[in-house]
Amino acid sequence: QKILLVFGTRPEAIKMAPLVKQFSFFPEHFNLKVCVTAQHREMLDQVLDFFEITPHYDLDLMKKGQNLFQLTADIILGMKSVLEEFKPDYVFVHGDTTTSMATALSAFYAGAKVCHVEAGLRTFDKLSPFPEEINRQLTGRISDIHFAPTVLAKENLAKEGTTSRIYVTGNTVIDALFWATQKLVNYEDEEIRYLKSIVDSSKKLILITGHRRENFGDGFLKICRAIKRFAQRTEVQIIYPVHLNPNVQQPVFELLDDLNNVRLIKPLSYPAFVWLMNKSYFILTDSGGVQEEAPSLGKPVLVMRDTTERPEAVDAGTVILVGTNEELILSSCERLLDDHELYQKMAQSHNPYGDGTACERIVNALIN
């Protein structure tokens, strides 16, 4: 069977990398090719390097001032040539990016079967997150096989009347995390050496990330004000790899630069980020992937969003939604720092996103 795996952003690459590895264990069953759209460039390449993946096709589409219209059109046209050349039986896409949606549509036009990894996540709010919710709904509508990370995600698809095959597999991000953690035992690079030099082991490390479009503007201002107030607690060290988007950089550097126990650093490559997650006490983030991976490292997560497509994590008690309200973010951080019982409960909760065998389940579904 001819399989084409397509991805374009850093989080997709992290979550598809272990699947590339798993497919490559069965050369007698699969002729596998990898295509990157490079919707993100540098951040994608770092992940490919770490996982030792060389794509067969690289559309290299990232442009300065990229907009969704141009990007969507470019992906569809770029995919046309790849699909015509390789003629895959199955095209695998992941999650909720413009790459996923436009590739799924292209694959459908080309007559290939579409397989959706991380299928069935929903907020059921068309505008939040934008454009991800619509991207995943459209991708789901087009797909022939859905690999849902959880039972709830499967139920979301069933509720929408999906009649095509759905497998519950766990999330491949845990497979990636375990692979990375193992590699990190004998791995050190410049970034990790730098982190070792700045981490103050006498303090509790609070790791922060944020990049969501829905938080741009007022949301990030409130987030930064809350962090600034929390930073007055001298027993914590806050490390914040700041996303390169100017909507994030501007408020963060304006409000949080030059504070004693806050380190603003460049976005980290995946191995360095995993290393830092492991060292952290808890994590404050608006990221989806981080919510899924942190519980496997026993790290509680406070999520700076009002809605979530990951209610399993809230139900399991591994994350708490704190929105973008300044007071709520501050009081939640203080509570998690001071309430040892709550901390232990969150840290020891079971990760609902799986046990690192998602890729095995996905590939087995195609073999059987």
Q: Does 101 bind ligand UDP (CB under 6 A)?
A: no
Segment near ligand UDP (CB under 6 A), from 76-84, 111-119, 216-224, 265-273? 265-273
Helix axes 42-50, 270-279, angle to 10 degrees: 80
**Which of 355, 361, 283 shows the shortest CA–CA distance to 320?**
283
**Which of 14, 47, 17 shows the shortest CA–CA distance to 34?**
17
User: Of the listed 116, 122, 141, 243, which one is catalytic?
Assistant: 243
Q: Does 149 bind ligand UDP (CB under 6 A)?
A: no
**Which of 75, 72, 73, 108 shows the shortest CA–CA distance to 90?**
108
User: What amino acid occupies position 274?
Assistant: V
Length of the chain: 368
Contact 238, 208 (CB under 8 A): yes
Q: Does 94 bind ligand UDP (CB under 6 A)?
A: no
96 is catalytic: yes
Helix (H) or strand (E) holding 175: helix 172-184
Measured from the CB atom, the residue of 301 and 366 that comes closer to ligand UDP is 301
118 is catalytic: yes
Q: Does 288 bind ligand UDP (CB under 6 A)?
A: yes
213 is catalytic: yes
User: Of the listed 41, 211, 229, 361, which one is catalytic?
Assistant: 211
Would you state the torsion angle of the CA atoms of residues 285, 291, 295, 301, taken in this order, to the nearest 10 degrees?
Answer: 30
Q: Does 267 bind ligand UDP (CB under 6 A)?
A: yes
Side-chain half-sphere exposure of 86, counting CA atoms within 13 A:
25
Closest approach, Cβ 321 to ligand UDP, in A, equals 14
Judged by CB under 6 A, the residue of 106, 171, 287, 296 near ligand UDP is 287
Closest approach, Cβ 338 to ligand UDP, in A, equals 27
Measured from the CB atom, the residue of 3 and 359 that comes closer to ligand UDP is 359
Judged by CB under 6 A, the residue of 203, 211, 225, 263 near ligand UDP is 211
DSSP string, 75-118: HHHHHHHHHHHH--SEEEEETTSHHHHHHHHHHHHHTPEEEEET
The set of catalytic residues is 96, 118, 132, 211, 213, 243
Which residues contribute to the site for ligand UDP (CB under 6 A)? 10-11, 14, 173, 209, 211, 241, 267-268, 270, 273, 287-290, 293
